Amino acid sequence: MMYGYYGGLGEHSIWGGLFAVVLFVLLVVFIVRLIRWNSMSHFHHHHEYKENTALDILKERYAKGEINKEEFEIKKKDLNN
């Protein structure tokens, strides 16, 4: 018996469909990861990544009002020694 081009729903059509879905999902995941990687490397390349030094943290605490000017000056002097 010949069923023609679209014969019956045999195992080939089911596995082919699953393969196409899996391939599509993998392609989407790859593209998303590529975009994320590219944007992160672009960010780090063009924007200097700087760790906060102790003096930077001290300045932030003073700016937030966590310490007063006297404490700031004492700690700053201590850090510079």
Q: Where are the domains of the chain?
A: 9-49, 50-81
**What pLDDT sits at residue 47?**
53
In angstroms, the CA 19 to CA 60 distance is 55
Higher pLDDT, 72 or 11: 72
Going by the DSSP 8-state scheme, the letter that residue 47 receives in this structure is: S
Summarised one tens digit per residue, pLDDT across range 23-75 is: 999 999 999 999 888 877 665 555 555 667 899 999 999 999 999 999 999 99
CA distances from 80 to 48, 51, 54, 57 (A): 24, 18, 10, 14
3-state helix, strand, coil in the chain (%, to 5): 75, 0, 25
In angstroms, the CA 38 to CA 15 distance is 34
Among 12-16, 42-46, 63-67, 76-80, the least confident range: 42-46
53, 60 Cβ separation under 8 angstroms: no
Enter the pTM of the model: 0.40
